[in-house]
């Protein structure tokens, strides 16, 4: 076991408190991290994880407490100071500049310069390539980051954080946007960095990851520390109990209704992005799961159904009638809702109040004689807050100040306001805590009981297997397999998602 000599402790945050207006985000939190550890930080949405790490990064100042880093005590840290002493925090919402290149993003703010003081592009490129190489990633360095997949953007973010020496690397939900192969790659990177001597603080809502990579885990609840444990000493059930404050069945809500008629039918559809024609049928009351690797075309398929990308050939039928939305507005009017995966750029207006974000699409319906019925609007938001258990200070709070998981619930609430008959969910529980996850599943069940058809894209296999009536698996831009609920297993989904086919089929064909 580790002894607590000062050298063993890289970081100690002592009695940290922080309030935002009326919300006390952290109460007297103490957090101690051993050198060389992979230390997980867990807790429900809004528990205070990101706030604590933002205080460490110098982005927020604590109201009280002190930070002892490598034996030196600081009342507060500033962002520069934190970087200079070796602390690096990768935030939950990526912080890249989409228009700038991969290399420019990696060295943003401390570009290598030549003797004239000008940016040395050769250096910039070789050193960026070196860093990415260290992570085992190959990327076109001059490509604007906005054109990369989210998984690759994540890699750029990690490379950026390593572009200056780091002793302590905090990753706030780095895995939320990754799946399968990319996730494995992330874990390899974490382990390699850890072997190179970097201490890691790892925040995640996926408990299996906590058990897979961390040696220590600290649980936060409502801004207070519940406790710090050796990961091997606690069980998954214990961890959940500490996080949500009660025992919880991690079972998916049972389906008790029949599936109805076809609602949405896609016949041989192609778009500029989905070049292989695809077919699918979505029935009333059904949950159709779409599995596949990040980048396999799942989102693109959904965009075609939603009118976000122009359909080039084939046809789309809604309740038996051919439709051609051409734009999402018309899809919404026809009763289709699309909850996107990237809430920051596609789902939310960060600077607007929660209330406006929830009613923004449906505001016309809340107007009478051209005047918005404020009371009614408020009631709708109150209902949504209750149905989805959204933790907020008030309806007028700006969305940017909500925790990640609560932002996700606001996006959901917005689309449910449209009373859709078809709901497309792209990674519906990304960044959502265990308790809230199961609330979202309950909600999906309620919707299907009312006859709503759901298309759910997800990288979380337990969720795909637990919720879907049927499962489509995508591979390199086309639907490579379909399974009924009974046939589907984690193994056969992974196999089709990674190879595009099932080995047993190959055998059958050659025999
Ligand atoms: N800048 C801010 N202004 C106002 N309130 C804030 C601000 N930042 C955080 N909060 C509030 O502080 C509390 C803790 O939020 P925090 O983001 O730290 O939670 P979290 O544990 O990271 O949750 P999640 O898992 O959802 O990311 C929440 O109630 C949140 O709304
Ligand atoms: Mg957070």
Residues 266 and 365 in one domain: no
Question: Does a structural domain hold residue 253?
Answer: no
What's the mean pLDDT in 346-358? Answer: 88
Residue whose CA lies nearest to ligand 1 atom number 12: 25
The reply to whether 236 and 269 lie within a common domain is no
Pairing of strands 311-318, 321-323: antiparallel
Kindly state whether residues 204 and 310 are assigned to the same domain.
no
Q: What is the model's pLDDT at position 346?
A: 67
Task: Please say if the pLDDT value at position 278 is more than 80.
Answer: yes
Q: How confident is the model at residue 1 (pLDDT cuts 50, 70, 90)?
A: very low
Mean pLDDT of 393-419: 88
- Structure confidence by residue, pLDDT tens digits, 428-469: 888 788 888 888 898 899 899 999 999 999 988 889 999 999
Say whether both 207 and 109 belong to one domain.
Answer: yes
* Ligand 1 binding pocket includes 20 (Cβ within 6 Å): yes
Which DSSP string do the residues of 124-161 spell out, in sequence order?
Answer: HHHHHHHHHHHTT----TTSBGGGS-HHHHHHHHHHHH
Going across the sheet that includes 470-475, the strands are: 336-339, 422-426, 453-457, 287-292, 470-475, 478-484
In a domain, residue 289? The reply is: yes
90 and 235 belong to one structural domain:
yes
Structural contact between residues 417 and 383, judged by C-beta atoms closer than 8 angstroms:
no
330 vs 328: CA distance, rounded Å? 5
| Surface-to-core class of residue 93, CB atoms within 10 Å of its CB (0-12 exposed, 13-18 middle, 19+ buried) | middle
pLDDT confidence of residue 177: 64
In angstroms, the CA 331 to CA 339 distance is 13
Question: CB under 8 Å to 5, separation ≥6 — which residues?
Answer: none
Q: Whose CA is nearest to atom 19 of ligand 1?
A: 46
Taking residues 190-195, what's their average pLDDT?
Answer: 90
Per-residue pLDDT at 379: 92
| pLDDT of 6 higher than 80 | no
Distance 103 CA to ligand 2 centre (A): 27
Q: Which residues pair with 217 in a beta bridge?
A: 40, 229
Range among 4-13, 180-189, 277-286 with highest mean pLDDT value: 277-286
- Global pTM reads 0.78
Flag whether 201 is in a domain. yes
Same structural domain, 73 and 172: yes
Whole-angstrom distance, CA of residue 239 vs CA of residue 251: 16
Residue 277 and residue 318 share a domain? yes
Structural domain of 161: 6-244
Residue ID of nearest Cα to ligand 1 atom 7: 401
Q: Taking 80 as the threshold, does the pLDDT of residue 99 lie above it? A: yes
Return the ligand 1 atom nearest residue 433 CA: 25
| 509 pLDDT above the threshold of 50 | no
**Ligand with an atom nearest the CA of residue 51:** 1
> What's the CA gap between 115 and 118, in Å, rounded?
7
Radius of gyration of the chain (CA): 24
Q: Is residue 390 helix, strand or coil?
A: coil
Per-residue pLDDT at 92: 73
Distance 93 CA to ligand 1 centre (A): 13
Per-residue pLDDT for 345 more than 70? no
Closest ligand relative to 47 C-alpha: 1
Which residues in 354-421 belong to E strands, given as ranges? 367-368, 371-372
Lowest mean pLDDT among 35-39, 145-149, 259-263: 145-149
43 Cβ below 6 A of ligand 1: yes
Ligand nearest to the CA of 220: 1
Q: Which residue's C-alpha comes closest to atom 17 of ligand 1?
A: 403
What is the rounded average pLDDT for all residues in the chain?
Answer: 88
Q: Are residues 282 and 346 in the same domain?
A: no
Instruction: For residue 221, tell me if it sits in a domain.
Output: yes
Q: Is residue 36 part of a domain?
A: yes
User: Nearest ligand, CA of residue 403?
Assistant: 1
pLDDT at 152 over 60: yes
Whether the pLDDT of residue 23 is over 60: the answer is: yes
Of 318, 259, 253, 279, the closest CA to residue 469 belongs to 259
Q: Are residues 466 and 382 in the same domain?
A: no
Q: Is 403 in the pocket of ligand 1 (CB under 6 A)?
A: yes
Distance CA 41, CA 194 (A): 17
Confidence of residue 254 (pLDDT cuts 50, 70, 90): confident
Residue 343 is given by DSSP the state I
For residue 504, what pLDDT is reported?
Answer: 67
Strand partners, 470: 288, 484
Q: How confident is the model at residue 134, as a pLDDT?
A: 81
Higher pLDDT, 474 or 295: 474
Read off the CATH number of the domain in which 216 is found: 3.40.50.300
- Model confidence pLDDT, tens digit, residues 44-97: 888 999 999 999 999 999 999 999 999 999 999 999 999 999 999 998 777 889
Instruction: For residue 90, report the distance from its CA to the centre of ligand 2, in Å.
Output: 11
Which pair of structure tokens corresponds to residue 468? 């879907």
Of all residues in the chain, the percent with pLDDT exceeding 90 is: 51
- Residue 505, pLDDT score: 58
Predicted confidence at residue 45, as pLDDT, reads 85
Q: Which two tokens stand for residue 9?
A: 């402790």
- Ramachandran region of residue 193, left (φ > 0), alpha (ψ -120 to 50) or beta? alpha
491 alpha carbon to ligand 2 midpoint, in Å? 31
What is Dmax (Cα atoms) for the chain? 73
More confident residue, 295 or 438: 438
Please give the Cα distance from 135 to 163 (Å, whole number): 12
> Does the C-beta of 410 come closer than 6 Å to ligand 1?
no
Domain shared by 13 and 142, yes or no: yes
Decide if 446 is inside a domain. Answer: no
Whether 131 is in a domain gets the answer: yes
State which of 13, 16, 42, 50 you would mutate to test the pocket of ligand 1, scoring each by most atoms of that ligand within 8 A of its C-beta: 50
* Percentage of the chain modeled with pLDDT above 70: 95
- Is the Cβ atom of 405 under 6 angstroms away from ligand 1? yes
Gap from CA of 203 to ligand 2 centroid (Å): 8
Average pLDDT over residues 250-258: 82
State if residue 51 touches ligand 1 by the CB under 6 angstroms criterion: yes
* Residue 318 domain-assigned (yes or no): yes
Q: Check residue 510 and give its pLDDT.
A: 45
Per-residue pLDDT, 3: 47
Mean pLDDT over residues 299-303, rounded? 90
**Is ligand 1 within 6 A of the CB of residue 166?**
no
Do residues 208 and 239 share a domain? yes
How many structural domains does the chain have? Answer: 3
What is the rounded distance in angstroms from the CA atom of residue 171 to the CA atom of residue 176? Answer: 11
């Amino acid at each position: 076991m580790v002894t607590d000599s000062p050298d063993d402790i890289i970081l100690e945050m002592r009695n940290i408190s922080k309030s935002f207006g009326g919300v006390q985000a952290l109460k007297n939190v103490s957090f101690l991290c051993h050198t060389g550890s992979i230390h997980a930080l867990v807790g429900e949405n809004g528990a205070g994880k990101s706030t604590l790490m933002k205080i460490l990064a110098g982005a927020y100042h604590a109201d009280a407490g002190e930070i002892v880093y490598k034996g030196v005590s600081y009342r507060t840290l500033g962002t520069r100071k934190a970087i200079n002493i070796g602390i690096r925090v990768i935030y939950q919402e990526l912080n890249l500049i989409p228009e700038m290149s991969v290399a420019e993003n990696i060295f943003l703010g401390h570009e290598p310069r030549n003797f004239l003081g000008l940016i040395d592009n050769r250096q910039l490129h070789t050193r960026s390539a070196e860093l990415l190489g260290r992570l085992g990633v190959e990327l076109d360095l001059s490509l604007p980051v906005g054109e990369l997949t989210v998984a690759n953007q994540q890699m750029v973010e990690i490379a950026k954080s390593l572009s200056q020496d780091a002793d302590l690397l905090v990753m706030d939900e780095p895995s939320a946007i990754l799946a399968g192969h990319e996730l494995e790659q992330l874990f390899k990177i974490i382990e390699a960095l850890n072997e190179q001597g970097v201490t890691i603080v790892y925040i995640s809502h996926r408990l299996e990851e906590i058990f897979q990579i961390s040696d220590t885990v600290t649980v936060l609840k409502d801004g207070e520390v519940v406790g710090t444990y050796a990961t091997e000493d606690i069980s998954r059930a214990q961890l959940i109990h500490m996080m949500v404050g009660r025992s919880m069945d991690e079972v998916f809500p049972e389906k008790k209704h029949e599936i109805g008629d076809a609602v949405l039918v896609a016949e041989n559809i192609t778009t500029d992005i989905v070049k292989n024609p695809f077919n699918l049928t979505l029935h009333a009351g059904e949950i159709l799961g779409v599995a596949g690797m990040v980048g396999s075309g799942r989102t693109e398929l959904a965009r075609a159904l939603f009118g976000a990308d122009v359909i080039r050939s084939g046809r789309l039928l809604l309740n038996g009638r051919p439709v051609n939305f051409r734009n999402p507005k018309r899809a919404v009017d026809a009763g289709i809702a699309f909850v996107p995966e990237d809430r920051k750029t596609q789902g939310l207006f960060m600077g607007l109040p929660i209330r406006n974000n929830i009613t923004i699409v449906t505001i016309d319906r809340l107007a009478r004689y051209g005047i918005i019925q404020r009371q009614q609007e408020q009631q709708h938001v109150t209902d949504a807050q209750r149905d989805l258990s959204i933790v907020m200070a008030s309806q007028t709070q700006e969305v940017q100040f909500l925790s990640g998981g609560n932002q996700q619930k606001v996006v959901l609430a917005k689309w449910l306001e449209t009373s859709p008959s078809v709901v497309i969910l792209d990674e519906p529980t990304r960044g959502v805590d265990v308790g809230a996850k199961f609330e979202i599943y309950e909600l999906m069940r309620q919707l299907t009981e009312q006859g709503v058809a759901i298309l759910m894209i997800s990288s979380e296999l337990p969720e795909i297997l637990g919720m879907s009536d049927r499962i489509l698996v995508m591979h390199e831009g086309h639907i490579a397999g379909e399974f009924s609920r009974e046939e589907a297993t984690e193994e056969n989904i992974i196999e089709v998602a990674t190879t595009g086919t099932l080995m047993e089929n190959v055998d059958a064909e050659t025999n």
